[in-house]
Structure 1
Amino acid sequence: MADILSILQTGANVSLTVTPQDLLDFAKNVIELTKEQLLPMMVTAAQTTLLSRKEVMEKLGVCEVTLYNWRKSGYLEAVKVGRKVFYRQEDVQKTLELHGNKTGK
C-alpha cells in the first residue's frame, strides 16, 4: 500500500480512507520533514548576534536619523523583535569594513 505522502506528491485527485495509524504516520512524517528543513535555519539564527540601535550608532559613529535612513533605504538591514529594532553584528561589521567609522575612531 502506498503511503499518504507519496499519493499527495503525485498530485492525483483522489478520495482516501485512512486508518488512525496511517494518519499518525503521516503526521510524524510531516513533522520530521519540517524539522529537517527548519533546523539549519534555527541553528544559524541562534548563532546570530544582534546589536541594539545604540550599539550600532556607537560602532559606526552615526546619529539616530542616519541609522533610521539606512534602515528605511535597505542600506543596513534591521531585524525586529517585537517592537524593538536590532541589527545583525555581521551586517554592521561589513558596513564598518566598507565605509569605516564616521567619527574616525
Structure 2
Amino acid sequence: MDNLILTTYTPEQLTGIINNAVTEAVKNIKIQASTPPSEKLLTRKETADKLKISLVTLNDWTKRGLIQSYLIGGRVLYKDSEIEASLYKTQTVKY
C-alpha cells in the first residue's frame, strides 16, 4: 500500500487548490472541444450504398478521378465530406 501523508489546509488554501484544479480541467475541455472531430471514413461498400451505385462503378469513378480514395492499412476508404461534395460538383465535357 502507498504511503499516506495527511496535511491540514486552511479553508482559503483548500479553496485555492480546488479552483486551480477546476480551472485546469476547464482549459483541457476547451482545448479538446476546439479540435475538429476526426473525419468519418467510409468503406467501399458504404460509399457505393450511399451513392446507390455498384462497386464496379465506384472503382471506375475512383480510377477516373471523380472521387478521391485513400489507402489506409491496406483498405480503400473514402472521406464522407468529399463524397457529399462530389455529389454537387459538375464538370463540362466537350465532345
Per the alignment, residue 65 of structure 1 pairs with 56
Structure 2 residues not aligned, in runs of 5+ = 1-34, 91-95
Structure 1, residues 6-27: CA drift from partner, whole Å, max 9, x if none? xxxxxxxxxxxxxxxxxxxxxx
Same amino acid, percent of matched pairs: 30
- Runs of 4 or more, structure 1, over 6 Å off, are none
In 2, Cα distance between the equivalents of 1:96 and 1:59? 11
C-alpha displacement at 1:80, in angstroms? 0.6
Residue 71 of structure 2, aligned match among 73, 76, 80: 80
Aligned residues: 56
Aligned AA for 1:58? D
TM-score by length of 1: 0.47
Per the alignment, residue 17 of structure 1 pairs with none
Q: Rg bigger for which structure?
A: 2
C-alpha displacement at 1:97, in angstroms? 3.7
Q: What's the secondary structure of 1:75's corresponding residue?
A: coil
- Superposed, 1:49-60 pairs within 5 Å as 49-60=40-51
**Pairing 1:89–2:80 present:** yes
In 1, Cα distance between the equivalents of 2:55 and 2:74? 17
TM-score by length of 2: 0.52
C-alpha displacement at 1:98, in angstroms? 4.4
In 1, Cα distance between the equivalents of 2:68 and 2:87? 14
Per the alignment, residue 29 of structure 2 pairs with none
C-alpha displacement at 1:60, in angstroms? 0.3
